[in-house]
Structure formats: structure tokens, C-alpha cells
Structure 1
């Protein structure tokens, strides 16, 4: 049993045991929500934690998977509800708030800013089902299994969609001028992904 699972199990009877989960996952969940919903991320994050706390007794490792994937699934549902209420589209790849202000980080952000329009255009070309798995694994650093859990599909389906999305992104980004100067694009290496 992982630390998260132990904390969630204890939180069923001891509400204070829920706090380490909030401390451990709030930053990642906030970044996920901010990239998709912008400035309402704070409000949505509060809703995510209220939902997770209310449903803490419903979590089962065998049926549900990891606590992290379960939390991202709750966050995804709140983001989707927000989009439906406001008829606004998600913007994967938008910068998350905060960050490191070292010169290397500034250079990296400038390079990313040059690539961002092409990256967004390429992401828009992907089918939504592939794009979502790619964004969850690349930006949110979920494993393919956690991404599968988040969107409610099987792990093999998520790996297949991720493979297709990575191949399409390589093809779509191959024509970008910045990539031509640097040579062929490197393969997208994602946490937990098998190449």
C-alpha cells in the first residue's frame, strides 16, 4: 500500500489524515486545472478537494487504481463541468502560474514561447482522445496507467493512444522552422511511457 493509499485509508476515520494528500497533490492538480480553465483553477481545486474528501470512503485500490490518478479524474470531471457551464475550450500547454526565474529557466521559456504556437496548432490537429492522454502524460506527468484511470479507459488503450499521439506530434512538428535548425525532433519521452 502506498503512502497516498495509507493516508486515504486513515482519513476514512481520521479527517486530519487527509491533509498530507492535499499538501502532496495540490500543486500538480492546480497546474492541471490552470492549464485547462485559467484563473478559476483555485475555485475548481477547492471543489476537487471537497469532492475527494466526501468520496474518500469510495476509493478502492483494486477498482480505482492510484490515489493520484483518482484525484486527477476528479479534477478532470470538474474541469469538464466548468467547460460545459461556460462553453469554453481547454488550452493545453498554457503556462502554469509561478515558476523558476533563473536564466536557464528564462531561456527555456523563450524557446518554449517560440515553439508554443506550432505546438498548440499540432495539438489541435490530434484527435481529442489522443490529445488528452498525451497532455496528461507530458504536461501533468501522469503515467499512462494513471492517464487511463483519469479518462476512464483501459491502460492498453491509453498506451495505444499515447503511441499514436506521439507519432503524429513528431510528424506535425517536423515542419516547424525551429526544429529544422536543430535537426530532427527528438522522440517524445514521457514519464512511465515505453518506447
Structure 2
């Protein structure tokens, strides 16, 4: 017996099972959740059935004969029920995250100021420098911790942070010191 034969048998068993349970599971899920999520949950349930094909009660080894729906469906309904519960928990987590983001957005002062200059200064940095600054400013990490998070040495993280802060400061000072529409040295001779 080759290594491929057990896989072919497993695939054949799954196909026989899927042929019997796919439509009843689809109807089961359709009665319990919205139509736009049924296919995703059914796909997840079928994946679980594939992974646990040896655990399905009533699914014999006899090649070619379909399993008796009365033997396999109750267990498969249990799998679909578990996948549905997982999907509902995931939806709940997403909803709570959206609500939390909305609350944070509402708590920001209405006239909180325009931060477009700061965002532009951040955007002018390289990706790694931008991440170093964000880890320092937003997450409150020290250079040693930033090094651990980014894979840099502690010294390299400190240097990058120092240089990035200087670039941001220069960008912000430059924006606020120059009169709009004028560049430094504009109209001056080189004398």
C-alpha cells in the first residue's frame, strides 16, 4: 500500500459524507443565521469534518456506499452548531471593537486641533523609523523594549528614535517658522 492510498480513501470518505450532509447543514445554518454568513460557516464546518473525518460516528470504511444520514447528521449538526457559535463570538468581538473605537473617537475634543503636519512628518520617515516612533509615543515603550519588538539592537533603536524625533521636530518647526508661500533664502543673493 502506497502513502497515497490512505489519502485517497480519506478523500473518498469525506466526499461521501459531504454529499450526504452538505445540504442539510446548509438548511440548518440558514434557519439560524443570516444568509450572507451561511456559506462561510458551512465552509468552516466542512473543514472541521475533513479534519475529524475519523471521528464521525456512522461513517464506515465501505467504499462507494453513502453513509446513513441518521447516523452521521446528528454529530455533523453538532459541528455546525459549534462553528455557528464561534462565528457569533467573533461577530461580538468585532462589534465590541467598533463600539470601543467609536467611544474613543467621541471622547476626543471637538476642537482637538489639526494634526496633519504631524501625520505628514511621520509619513516622511522610513517605515522602520515610523514604527520606532509609534512604539515610543503610542505604546510607551523604552528603547530597550522597542529593540525587542523590532529586532534591532538597543543602541540602534535609541539612535533611530533620536534621529526620527529630530526629523519630526525639524519638519514641524519648518512648517511653522516659514511664512506661507515663501521659502528660506528666496530672493536673496548669494553674497
Bin of the TM-score, shorter chain as denominator length: 0.3 to 0.5
TM-score w.r.t. the length of structure 2 is 0.36
Structure with larger RCO (C-alpha < 8 A, sep 6+): 1
User: Which structure is larger by alpha-carbon Rg, 1 or 2?
Assistant: 2
